[in-house]
């Protein structure tokens, strides 16, 4: 466990407290959800200790947030991060895709790229234009 003091730990401590209070949870209630004492949650929020990876995952699950939310301001969302629900919804499709033979996967990827290209072309056509890409 890392001792407090770094900017990352300070940011984490501040965001943890914000997320916990926004959900109306006491230190004790959050502690119960992550199976840690309220004193540990308090230490985290003061920045005197940093969580282990296991505790970080438990905290994110208990607060129903992605882990990156502990390290960014509430309004910031990195473009590369998808909402959890989207990933959960995509999982059955990914599992099916993984079962396909290699040549079928290549075909599916080719078709998906073509569909994305066409969608991109449609988006680039100005709204008042009557031209429609092939």
Domain at 58, CATH number: 1.10.260.40
Residue 92 and residue 54 share a domain: no
The answer to whether residue 78 is domain-embedded is: no
* pLDDT for the residue 43: 96
Count of structural domains, the chain: 2
Residues 6 or more apart whose Cβ sits within 8 Å of residue 5: 47
pLDDT tens by residue, the chain, 134 residues: 444 457 888 889 999 999 999 999 999 999 999 999 999 999 999 999 888 899 999 999 999 888 888 887 666 655 545 555 565 677 788 788 888 888 888 888 888 888 888 888 887 775 555 555 45
Range of the domain at 18: 7-70
Q: How many CB atoms lie within 10 A of CB 63?
A: 20
Name residues whose C-beta falls within 8 Å of residue 23's C-beta, 6 or more positions apart in sequence.
Answer: 63, 64
Which residue carries 């540990």 as its tokens? 40
């Amino acid at each position: 466990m890392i001792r407090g003091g770094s900017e990352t730990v300070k940011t984490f401590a501040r965001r943890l407290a914000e997320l916990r209070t926004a959900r109306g949870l006491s230190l004790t209630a959050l502690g119960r959800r992550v199976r840690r004492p309220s004193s540990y949650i308090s230490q985290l929020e003061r920045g005197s200790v940093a969580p282990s990876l296991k505790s970080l995952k438990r905290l994110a699950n208990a607060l129903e947030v992605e882990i990156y939310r502990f390290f960014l301001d509430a309004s910031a969302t990195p473009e590369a991060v998808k909402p959890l629900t989207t990933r959960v919804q995509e999982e059955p499709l990914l599992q099916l895709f993984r079962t396909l033979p290699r040549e079928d996967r290549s075909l599916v990827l080719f078709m998906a790229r073509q569909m994305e290209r066409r969608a991109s072309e449609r988006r680039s056509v100005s709204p008042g234009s009557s031209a429609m890409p092939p």
